[in-house]
């Protein structure tokens, strides 16, 4: 649930005369947060401290980590390893046990640093 609600204003003030034809089609402006974060309470941000080419993660990338998603084999997750959190690929076989902390839902890579 969001703390603020953006309500679109009509595109013109109401006065006598013809209203704007766009008024019937006013929609909410696109918000990237809605796209990236499915469940805000369970979503955390982390920074990649190293390259993980197999996961297409570059050092410095912002990771959107969602604890409410189910891990997918072959896709990146945050795991508990060696007493800390680390980027890992979800194993394809259950024989390779991994303690999953959360799923890397999105990798955000800026084109200019």
| Closer Cβ to another protein, 39 or 75, answer by number | 39
CB-CB neighbours of 32 under 10 Å = 8
As a whole number of angstroms, the distance between CA 20 and CA 26 comes to: 10
105 lines the binding site for another protein (CB under 8 A)? no
Selected from 10, 12, 28, 40, the binder of another protein by CB under 8 A is 40
What are the structure tokens assigned to 80, written together? 């508990």
**Which phi and psi angles does 51 have, rounded to 5°?**
-75, 140
46 lines the binding site for another protein (CB under 8 A)? yes
Q: Residues interacting with another protein, by CB under 8 A?
A: 1, 39-42, 44-50, 63, 67-68, 78, 80, 83-87, 101
């Amino acid at each position: 649930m969001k703390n603020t609600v953006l309500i679109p204003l009509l595109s013109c003030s109401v006065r006598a005369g013809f209203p704007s034809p766009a008024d019937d089609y006013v929609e909410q402006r696109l918000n990237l947060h809605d796209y990236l974060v499915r469940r805000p309470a369970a979503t955390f941000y982390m920074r990649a401290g190293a390259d993980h080419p197999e996961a297409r993660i570059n050092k410095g990338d912002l990771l959107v980590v969602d604890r409410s998603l189910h891990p997918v084999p072959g896709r990146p997750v945050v795991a508990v390893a060696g007493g800390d959190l680390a980027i890992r690929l979800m194993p394809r076989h259950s024989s390779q046990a991994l303690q999953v902390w959360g799923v890397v839902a999105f990798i955000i890579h800026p084109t200019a640093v």
